[in-house]
Amino acid sequence: IKKIGVLTGGGDAPGLNAVIRAVVKSAIRQYGLEVVGFINGFSGIIHKDYRELTEANVSGILPRGGTILGTTNRDNPFRYAVEINGEKTFQDVSDQAIENLKDLGIDALAIIGGDGSLAIAYEFYKKGIPVVGIPKTIDNDLSATDVTFGFDTALTTASEAIDKLHTTAESHHRVMILEVMGRYAGWIALHAGIAGGADVILLPEKPFTIERICAKIQERSNMGKKFSIVVVAEGAKLESGEMVVQRMVHESHDPVRLGGIGNRIGEDIERCTGMETRVTVLGHLQRGGSPTAYDRILGTRFGVKAVELLVDGKYGHMVALKGAEVQEVTLDSAISQLKQVDPHGELVRAAEAVGVSFG
């Protein structure tokens, strides 16, 4: 191969630029390849929107958050939204995208993305395009890799927020609720909750009741601790099965936020404990900013390995951290399963052993 393309798809995560830099540098230095960066994910292939990437282009981007290539949740070439006579419909424009790759002389693609983008990568691979995937999500919920880059930075932001909430909670004798990201998996809530010394942690994997949360807060109050910290993942569920927060994901992968679980349980907790309660929704602060050293290193290792796989012709694979090593796994195994917290696992038990309630 002589020329490779790289793109970032789906929601951003701290460390994307570290991956892009590693792909570009290692491709040029180790193998003398040319590199093209597609702008705004798959949209860049569909619209032939790209730029040549040289070492000079990626200079200084290692500590920068976001992605220099831009990204979007939209523009799936296999289900491309178009408007015909005022009506939205979906078309398969993948053949056109493949033609564009040929026109540009792209021999292989490195696709950096979460489950959605990696599923598209797999579709391209099935149509004969040499593809390698690089897993990204702050949620850390991709099963084929022990860790995704972006998670450590999100977790650090969330645990720093808990530290800050602690001092004001203690001064005002309040219950502080921190809502963190994690639609389907509670990794950020669990790790940040443990790191920040939360009293209650609510996860999608462990349904909760308001009564048990209030009992924990009451127990602390009886012991003289007149404040409490509750960390709640946005996808946490009530034991009754009642949907606390409805979140639709449209076919275009466009998530719509219809409410916040933090605010919803805040009112209930204030009512049942009689304690003043405040809610903080951390939101996209978890996705922004400079990546931690860990995420820069993991991103660099992933980028270097992805180029190695492309050069070795190991297409249809994804790079993954397994124990201490970066290895390859097949793309189809990577996209098939969500990695969730084991509600009876060692991490949850360790938290319980130091007094955390899971509601």
Residues serving a catalytic function are 139
- Give the residue, chosen from 5, 6, 9, 11, that forms a contact with ligand F6P under the rule CB under 6 A: 11
**DSSP reduced 3-state for 77:** coil
CA contacts within 13 A on the Cβ side of 15: 29
Beta bridge partners of 132: 110, 317
Nearer to ligand F6P, 143 or 277 (CB): 143
The CA distance from 138 to 176, in Å, is 23
Task: Choose the stretch contacting ligand F6P; rule: CB under 6 A; options: 54-62, 176-184, 263-271, 343-351.
Answer: 176-184
- Give the residue, chosen from 26, 40, 43, 73, that forms a contact with ligand F6P under the rule CB under 6 A: 73
**DSSP reduced 3-state for 129:** coil
The CA distance from 138 to 13, in Å, is 6
- Give the residue, chosen from 46, 69, 134, 138, that forms a contact with ligand F6P under the rule CB under 6 A: 138
Nearer to ligand F6P, 206 or 287 (CB): 287
Residue count, binding to ligand F6P (CB under 6 A): 12
183 is in an annotated binding site: yes
- Give the residue, chosen from 48, 74, 166, 183, that forms a contact with ligand F6P under the rule CB under 6 A: 183
Nearer to ligand F6P, 258 or 350 (CB): 258
**DSSP reduced 3-state for 81:** strand
Q: Taking CB under 6 A as the criterion, which residues in 319-358 touch ligand F6P?
A: none
Confirm if 16 and 112 have CB atoms less than 8 A apart.
Answer: yes
115 is in an annotated binding site: yes
* Residue from 290, 231, 279 nearest 61 by CA: 290
Residues 6+ apart with CB under 8 A from 341: 185, 186, 187, 190, 203, 205, 206, 347, 348
Nearer to ligand F6P, 139 or 270 (CB): 139
Q: Does 74 bind ligand F6P (CB under 6 A)?
A: no
- Give the residue, chosen from 67, 72, 137, 292, that forms a contact with ligand F6P under the rule CB under 6 A: 137
Beta bridge partners of 231: 178, 201
The CA distance from 70 to 59, in Å, is 17
The CA distance from 59 to 22, in Å, is 11
Task: Choose the stretch contacting ligand F6P; rule: CB under 6 A; options: 119-127, 137-145, 261-269, 342-350.
Answer: 137-145
Confirm if 5 and 38 have CB atoms less than 8 A apart.
Answer: yes
Minimum Å gap between C-beta 12 and ligand F6P is 8
The CA distance from 355 to 288, in Å, is 31
Nearer to ligand F6P, 11 or 135 (CB): 11
Please give the residue ranges that form the binding site for ligand F6P (CB under 6 A).
Answer: 11, 73, 114, 137-139, 181-183, 234, 255, 287
Annotated binding site, which residues? 11, 74-75, 114-117, 137-139, 174, 181-183, 234, 278, 284-287
Residue numbers in the known binding site for Mg(2+) are: 115
